[in-house]
A and B are shown apart, each in its own frame.
Chain A
Amino acid sequence: MHIDATQGESLFKYVFVFSDCVPVKGSATSAIYDLTRGLISTFPSEYYPLFELFRTQRLGQILDGFCEEDRANIREFLDFMSMNEYITLVDDLGPFPEIPFSFDAPGVIDNAIIDVSSQHHDYRKIVAALASLGCQHVQVRSYSTLFGLRHLVELAGLCHGTSIQSLEAVLHHEPAVSDDDYVAAVNANRLLAGLIIHSADQDRQIRADHGVSGASAPLVAVEIRMTRRTMASHLDCGTISRTNLLAPATRTFNELRHFNGCLHRKLSIDEDGQVRNCPAMERSFGHHASIALAEVVASSAFQRAWNIRKDDVEVCRDCPYRYACTDCRAFLDDPDVETSKPLKCGYDPYTDSWADWTTRPGATDTLKKYRQRVRLPIV
């Protein structure tokens, strides 16, 4: 669709930004999130104030307020917006209310991480407790071969018939386990929604298709990813890059506006069995075997991290991608400041540029501090 902003009829209309296309202000660059198509378009922040004008003034009134050069730029901007179907012209904005930006979820806990390294946990107790909290998604991360495919299948069996809808796993490669074994395990367990095998002999992907072929196969298939890279501990987590930004959707967009994208309704069991918001965070709420998870989750101390929004975080609050980013509160650029930006993010919203986060001055030293901290007794 093309909007002719010079035509008389258009000048008497309002510019309507579709309710599922939401502008997000950033520092150098702002963005518009298409919540239905799952797309983000960015534009220079100088144009952002136009969205305020769109709500109150007709197009002609808006253009009259600018010089000829600015008017040409605004027309170009309107073309960009209309070609992407973010806006249209209407006689009255009244019949087009905003989408409510409230968020809620059915479970007290939505997702959980279980880390395993040198000791097993009481999986039966953990699964029962998570199920009673309404947990829907579980990810198990194994840093050694102690927890292998056999254990994953057993864990899937424990989760079966509970509130848990999906089980993801990051497992250490086991030489004795063949590709067919991985595929058979995934095909036999509907709950297994993702499987990454680290420390593998080569990088490759295998597809478990649940016996489905043709056009519908991608809808149900699970890609099993083998990678030569190693995940040695919870320190190998928390990286924020362009590739792991969320495709915007109403549900996640609303959640990220009100809560922390990673920690909200998350519960973690670290490799020592300690209950934490995230396995890499310093504060423990006790050993899972000796406490009731429901009591921990109900405490305001545990829920405190849920409410650290991107709008509260330094630098991130100026980032146009802040509602598509699940954040990281475990590794901070300044570990002494709770609202410091994530250490492992390479985006600079003030210059709109991405860089390797390790090249930022002091970043590697900060990571060293985190590495040293894990050698100390944690609780």
Chain B
Amino acid sequence: MNSELETLTLGPLLEQGLPIAFARIFVSHGILDESATSQLTLHLPRYRHRTTFVRRPDKPISKPEL
């Protein structure tokens, strides 16, 4: 198992027009096992523009008899 980091080659990425941010942060096969891959892979939910955070007071403002 090779624990040394491989040299990150940006050339092919830039040729494809991909921004540098698309490059993987680390490419050592020694430290990038399956669990690390799954942890790094974010499953973002579909963006819902109506999703909203409803702020609530932390105590009742009044105590109506209802």
Q: B64 at interface (Cβ–Cβ under 8 A)?
A: yes
A141 touches B48 (CB 8 A): no
For A192-206 the 0/1 string (1 means CB < 8 A from B) is: 011010100000000
Q: B62 at interface (Cβ–Cβ under 8 A)?
A: yes
- In the bound complex, CA of A231 to CA of B63 (Å): 11
Chain A residues whose C-beta falls within 8 Å of the C-beta of B58 in the assembled complex: 249, 251-252
Closest chain B residue to A241, Cβ basis: B63
A328 touches B56 (CB 8 A): no
Chain A residues whose C-beta falls within 8 Å of the C-beta of B62 in the assembled complex: 113, 139, 141, 237, 262, 278
Contact partner of B66 among A137, A166, A196, CB < 8 A?
A: A196
Q: Tell me the interface secondary structure of chain B in the complex.
A: loop
- In the bound complex, CA of A227 to CA of B66 (Å): 7
What's the least CB distance linking B50 to chain A, in Å? Answer: 4
For A219-242 the 0/1 string (1 means CB < 8 A from B) is: 111100101010100001111100
Chain A residues whose C-beta falls within 8 Å of the C-beta of B12 in the assembled complex: none
A-B contact sample (4 more), CB < 8 A, given A193-B54, A193-B55: A136-B55, A168-B57, A239-B65, A326-B63
Q: List 20 A-B contacts (CB under 8 A).
A: A136-B55, A136-B57, A138-B61, A166-B57, A190-B54, A210-B51, A212-B50, A222-B54, A227-B66, A229-B65, A236-B64, A237-B62, A237-B63, A239-B63, A239-B65, A246-B60, A251-B58, A261-B59, A262-B62, A326-B60
Residues of A within 8 A of B (CB): 111-113, 136-139, 141, 165-166, 168, 170, 187, 190, 193-194, 196, 198, 210-212, 219-222, 225, 227, 229, 231, 236-240, 244, 246, 249, 251-252, 261-262, 266, 278, 326, 328
